[in-house]
Amino acid sequence: MKKAKNIMSTANLTRMVMALAVLLSLVAIFLVVTKRTPAQLRAANECKSIVMVASGDTLSELLLAQGLSHSDVNNIAQVLKKEAEISTLRADRDRLEFVRDADDAPVSKIVVVPSPWRQVELTCNDSGDWDCKTVDIERDTRAIYRSGEILDGDSFYLAGQRAGIPAGILIEVYDLLAFEMDFERDVRAGQKFSVLYEENFSEGEKIDNGNVLAVSFQALRGNVQMYRYRKSDGTIGYYDAEGNGAIKSLKRTPINNAKITSNFSRNRKHPILGYTRAHKGVDFRASTGTPIPAAGAGRVVARSYNRGHGNFVKIRHNGSYETLYAHMSKFAKGVNVGTTVRQGQTIGYVGSTGYSTGPHLHYEIIKDGVHVNPMTVKLPAISNLNKEDKKKFKEYRKVLEEGIEQLEKNPSMYIQL
Ligand SMILES: [Zn+2]
């Protein structure tokens, strides 16, 4: 991970370029992964029991169950809180390891594992106090490249799975592409896509996925490309090939992968009212109860009911934009007029209240008081690079593209970060 950080954050471009070049030359070496068994390194007599924290478990109960005294329990709780900022255990997430020198010996060491990448070791010293040490687990991060093609009748999700992209990464890619693409109308058979993303390994075993580093999708409107990049001030964002912010202030499609059932039109025959009138938004089919995420950050300016929209929420965003979400079955808890929401925060749930023929989200974007087509309106980017960062970004992108080119030719390889 340290190396990866250097590559992504260093202000020294030459170093970054060289580092990546060296890493690329190492690609072939890492094709074969040897498995090490950490257990072999441990003392032969040492005895370890592992406890997964379950719902309702408390630290003191778990410690007492291991034969520790009440004063040990207090001592350990204090040390954990003070030195590791751990005051409560999380069910199904935290793990405790109790180490004894022999089967019937008292616990001499306790390891609290709050994440795959961090563990807190408590050791009983000679005076009976517990010493605390936090250990960061060495992480071996690899950049993996996967590419695929949309087949007839395919969804991007299916094609992505077929290409071997993990589900969690696919969801992130979806979220990114949703700023630029309309998955319902922009996805056709024959389109190619690729993703460069991180996988984290420990001792040769994959533990979890890391970040999405680069995405490319041959959309109808042209090739959509996004690159993860750390600016010189340390902030991370996604940028297009030219270094323009790829994350838009608003999403065109708040609910990913929802089918569009009715488009924006200045002239449409209303399915219930019968007569022709404008359809001021886009309808997305989704089942009742599907969470509706805010298309962008902003402040709730309406949370109300009317005969047409049913339950609806309206958000005022920075600049001149407002968005409206109609036909909700219910509002999300804590969302009221005046509430500040972040992009992606659930504001309500899909329903069929108001003039509606079935469960769907009716979504409107209003710019300077005028309804605009969410699918085609030009949306502002959240963050752009200054001149210097842009220059660095373009050089970084060039190096990254060279890496991708190598991986394209050898899909079973990866870049060691
Ligand atoms: Zn509608």
Give 332 Cα–ligand 1 centroid separation in angstroms: 20
- Report the amino acid identity of residue 38: P
Give 283 Cα–ligand 1 centroid separation in angstroms: 5
Give 72 Cα–ligand 1 centroid separation in angstroms: 63
Average pLDDT over residues 254-274: 76
**Same domain assignment for residues 154 and 207:** yes
Q: What is the pLDDT of residue 59?
A: 93
Structural domain containing residue 345: 259-372
Give 363 Cα–ligand 1 centroid separation in angstroms: 7
**Same domain assignment for residues 126 and 157:** no
CATH number at residue 401: 3.10.450.350
Give 177 Cα–ligand 1 centroid separation in angstroms: 23
**Same domain assignment for residues 224 and 128:** no
Residue 107 lies in a domain: yes
How far apart CA 328 and CA 353 sit, in angstroms, is 6
Q: What is the pLDDT of residue 41?
A: 43
Q: What is the pLDDT of residue 274?
A: 61
CA angle 375, 182, 185 (to 5 degrees): 100
**Same domain assignment for residues 130 and 145:** no
Residue 377 lies in a domain: no
Point out the domain boundary residue: 88, 121, 136: 136
Q: Is the pLDDT of residue 43 over 70?
A: no
Does residue 325 come out as left (phi exceeding 0), alpha (psi in the -120 to 50 range) or beta?
Answer: beta
Where are the strands (E) in 94-191, listed by range? 95-100, 107-115, 118-124, 130-136, 140-149
Burial class (CB in 10 A: 0-12, 13-18, 19+), 342: exposed
**Same domain assignment for residues 359 and 412:** no
**Same domain assignment for residues 263 and 232:** no
Report CA-CA distances (Å) from 85 to 73, 88, 89, 133, 192. Answer: 16, 9, 11, 12, 46
Residue 23 lies in a domain: no
Residue 55 lies in a domain: yes
Answer yes or no: are the C-beta atoms of 296 and 321 closer than 8 Å. yes
**Same domain assignment for residues 132 and 144:** no
Residue 166 lies in a domain: yes
Residue 279's closest CA among 214, 330, 219, 324? 324
How far apart CA 112 and CA 89 sit, in angstroms, is 9
Cβ partners under 8 Å of residue 8, min gap 6: 228, 229, 230, 236
Alpha-carbon torsion angle 390, 238, 369, 309, nearest 10: 180
**Same domain assignment for residues 150 and 109:** no
Q: What is the pLDDT of residue 161?
A: 96
**20: phi then psi, degrees, rounded to nearest 5:** -65, -35
Percent of the chain with pLDDT over 70: 86
Give 159 Cα–ligand 1 centroid separation in angstroms: 30
Point out the domain boundary residue: 74, 109, 136: 136
**Same domain assignment for residues 239 and 161:** yes
How far apart CA 16 and CA 18 sit, in angstroms, is 5
Q: What is the pLDDT of residue 22?
A: 44
Structural domains in the chain (count): 3
How far apart CA 87 and CA 78 sit, in angstroms, is 8
Give 184 Cα–ligand 1 centroid separation in angstroms: 16
How far apart CA 417 and CA 413 sit, in angstroms, is 13
Higher pLDDT, 265 or 12: 265
Give 281 Cα–ligand 1 centroid separation in angstroms: 6
Point out the domain boundary residue: 136, 154, 173: 136
Q: Is the pLDDT of residue 40 over 60?
A: no
Give 277 Cα–ligand 1 centroid separation in angstroms: 11
pLDDT band at 375 (very low <50, low <70, confident <90, very high): confident
What residues form DSSP beta bridges with 259? 285
pLDDT band at 133 (very low <50, low <70, confident <90, very high): very high
Give 272 Cα–ligand 1 centroid separation in angstroms: 11
* 348-372 pLDDT tens trace: 999 999 999 999 999 999 998 999 9
Give 282 Cα–ligand 1 centroid separation in angstroms: 6
Give 172 Cα–ligand 1 centroid separation in angstroms: 27
* 396-416 pLDDT tens trace: 999 999 999 999 999 889 988
Give 36 Cα–ligand 1 centroid separation in angstroms: 58
pLDDT band at 273 (very low <50, low <70, confident <90, very high): low
Residue 397's closest CA among 248, 225, 212? 225
Report CA-CA distances (Å) from 341 to 320, 348, 360. Answer: 17, 12, 22
Residue 156 lies in a domain: yes
Give 37 Cα–ligand 1 centroid separation in angstroms: 58
Residue 322's closest CA among 302, 349, 346, 351? 302
Give 313 Cα–ligand 1 centroid separation in angstroms: 14
Q: Is the pLDDT of residue 13 over 50?
A: no
Give 265 Cα–ligand 1 centroid separation in angstroms: 10
Looking up tokens 């065109």 gives: 252
**Same domain assignment for residues 151 and 168:** yes
**Same domain assignment for residues 116 and 71:** yes
Q: What crossing angle do the helices spanning 13-26 and 387-409 adopt, rounded to 10°?
A: 10
Residue 28 lies in a domain: no
Q: Is the pLDDT of residue 306 over 90?
A: yes
Average pLDDT over residues 269-278: 64
CATH number at residue 264: 2.70.70.10
How high does pLDDT run on average in the chain?
A: 85
pLDDT band at 271 (very low <50, low <70, confident <90, very high): low
Residue 315 lies in a domain: yes
Q: What is the pLDDT of residue 230?
A: 93
* 318-339 pLDDT tens trace: 778 999 999 999 999 999 999 9
Q: What is the pLDDT of residue 267?
A: 67
**Same domain assignment for residues 366 and 271:** yes
* 182-224 pLDDT tens trace: 776 778 899 999 999 999 999 899 999 999 999 999 988 789 9
